[in-house]
Amino acid sequence: MSKWPQNILDVYGPAGATWLAELPALLDECAARWSLTLGPPFGNLSYNYVAPAAGPDGAALVLKVGPPNPELKSEIAALRVFDGWGAARLIAADAARGVLLVERVLPGDSLWTLDDDEQVIAVVVKVMRGLHRPLAAGHPFRTLTDLSTGLNRLRAEFDGGYGPFPPARVDRAAGLFRELTGTAEPLLIHGDLNPGNVLRGGREPWLAIDPKGYAGDPLYDVATFLNDAPRLPEAALRSLLDRRIRLLAEALSVSRGAVLAWAEAHAVLSGWWNYEDHGAGWERTFALAELYEALGRKK
């Protein structure tokens, strides 16, 4: 079984198996509802079925379908707020069915295709600034404080212990989240601004896709970018991240320490999420957290 269906089963269990069995009928329903011609799915599926589509007028679109869940509802709400500014435009959605129809960003090369770090950082900063929106009281988006409670679930999973996770690393990340959340006016942020979610576009040079839609500090988006770093030997990775952190801090007029703190806290939380979903896969991001702590000690 390929990775994508297994991810659905890992997260949703028997309900996921039912959803997978019903997916072909749901795709037929979407095609009829919006007069779409669907192509084969993209090859890098993770937790949703995503395929190119042509609208009745030939418009290039993307159909995204997943088991209905709060994350997809938040994505739909975020895309509505962004309204095409800095992100792919939402064309139609059915949150109750877990369905989104969005503009296809073409030519669609991701930020991974750029080699020059200064150019990469310039793109990330510009996209971030185009996305972030102030939020009024009573907004529907999850906060970064809400997300950080995932570390409480870690402790609960192991009856107050830490299981395979280094206790000092988990406690340090929990402390960082307490310090970092609630210190700035919350903005609507992307929430998963990794290089694969920033694509070369036509109506704008670069556009974001697949927002999580969180309320919080924009530096969380910086952390999600940093923590999807390429797999490199330790020395090369350290050099790359140190350089990117310096460039980001300068471009955003924030302290290097603030960037490091968000990156470290997110790396630990991301590792726990991997374990929570799949029972494995936490070691790399915990190693990144250790690296960030070491960089923080650098004069």
Name the domain boundary from 48, 81, 103: 103
Name the domain boundary from 103, 119, 142: 103
Domain of residue 211, CATH code: 3.90.1200.10
Q: Do residue 148 and residue 209 come from a single domain? A: yes
Question: With bands split at pLDDT 50, 70 and 90, how would you rate the model's confidence at 185?
Answer: confident
Tokens of 71: 């994350």
What is the average pLDDT score of the chain?
95
Q: Count how many domains the chain has.
A: 2
Contact, 9 vs 50, CB < 8 A?
no
Q: Do residue 212 and residue 273 come from a single domain? A: yes
Q: Which strands sit side by side in the sheet containing 142-143, from one edge to the other?
A: 133-134, 187-189, 214-216, 142-143
Measured N-to-C along each axis, helices 167-180 and 150-157 cross at an angle, to the nearest 10 degrees, of 150
Give dist(CA 127, CA 201) in Å, integer: 12
Q: Which helix (H) or strand (E) holds 92?
A: strand 90-94
Contact, 204 vs 85, CB < 8 A?
no
Helix (H, G, I), strand (E, B) or coil at 17: helix
Contact, 81 vs 188, CB < 8 A?
yes
Percent of the chain exceeding pLDDT 70 equals: 98
Question: With bands split at pLDDT 50, 70 and 90, how would you rate the model's confidence at 183?
Answer: low
Q: Which residues contact 267 (CB under 8 A, 6 or more apart)?
A: 173, 223, 227, 285, 286, 288, 289, 292
Q: Do residue 55 and residue 129 come from a single domain? A: no
Q: Do residue 98 and residue 143 come from a single domain? A: no
Structural domain for 252, as ranges: 111-296
- pLDDT on residue 1: 42
Q: Do residue 139 and residue 55 come from a single domain? A: no
Contact, 213 vs 78, CB < 8 A?
yes
Q: Do residue 60 and residue 95 come from a single domain? A: yes
Q: Do residue 118 and residue 196 come from a single domain? A: yes
Domain of residue 9, CATH code: 3.30.200.20
Q: Do residue 163 and residue 253 come from a single domain? A: yes
Largest CA distance in the chain: 61
Q: pLDDT tens digit string along 215-249? A: 999 999 999 999 999 999 999 999 999 999 999 99
Q: pLDDT tens digit string along 253-266? A: 999 999 999 999 99
What DSSP letter does each residue of 191-231 carry, written as one string? Answer: S---GGGEEE-SSSSEEE-----EEE-THHHHHHHHTT---
Q: Do residue 118 and residue 12 come from a single domain? A: no
Name the domain boundary from 70, 103, 136: 103
Q: Do residue 239 and residue 146 come from a single domain? A: yes
Q: Which helix (H) or strand (E) holds 135?
A: none
- pLDDT on residue 299: 58
Q: Do residue 7 and residue 99 come from a single domain? A: yes
AA letter at 112: W
Contact, 90 vs 79, CB < 8 A?
yes
pTM, entire model: 0.94
Q: Do residue 191 and residue 49 come from a single domain? A: no
